[in-house]
Structure 1
């Protein structure tokens, strides 16, 4: 199992969400984050100077079975890219175990859809 985390532009979140759903990645967590970028200059807008090094982004966290790793990464790369500096990063790490709290079962099957 893999944990895929992406830091993306907030403006690309809807496209990313649709792309993930289209490849059957239907559960993920996300939250708003602020980071520091490489740009060191400030900007002036309506007479007010502000720093552009503090960047508003969205952090998306997804856990998938190994066979969904590349599909998920490809969906993120395609949907989050603008071609400009600041599109974000994707991080991949190993997950050693997962448990479903409701039933106590463990393993990759806990990431599958539940049929009723």
Structure 2
């Protein structure tokens, strides 16, 4: 096996870049969220209720009743509370995991 000869400290720079990129969490894109909103029955129903200007929510959407007047819907079908995107159920665990990547907690080890 022939090794590539890198000038100067180029090999070290490439290695550091590889380590950094490997450590970065996978991003969840807006396209991912839109796609999941389209598949999520609860999110679709909620978006429809917002777009219709409904005053009452069905029992299945009781979790959103308290803040319903703060919700809006984007043209793509994303449900928003102010500037925050409401994440569909199927992506919530993934979003929380990504948010905590690299968090060292209370005690650093």
Structure with the higher helix share, 1 or 2: 2
Pick the structure with greater CA Rg: 2
Q: Is TM-score (shorter-chain normalized) higher than 0.5?
A: no
Task: Tell me which interval the TM-score lies in, with the shorter structure as reference length.
Answer: under 0.3
TM normalised by structure 1 equals 0.22
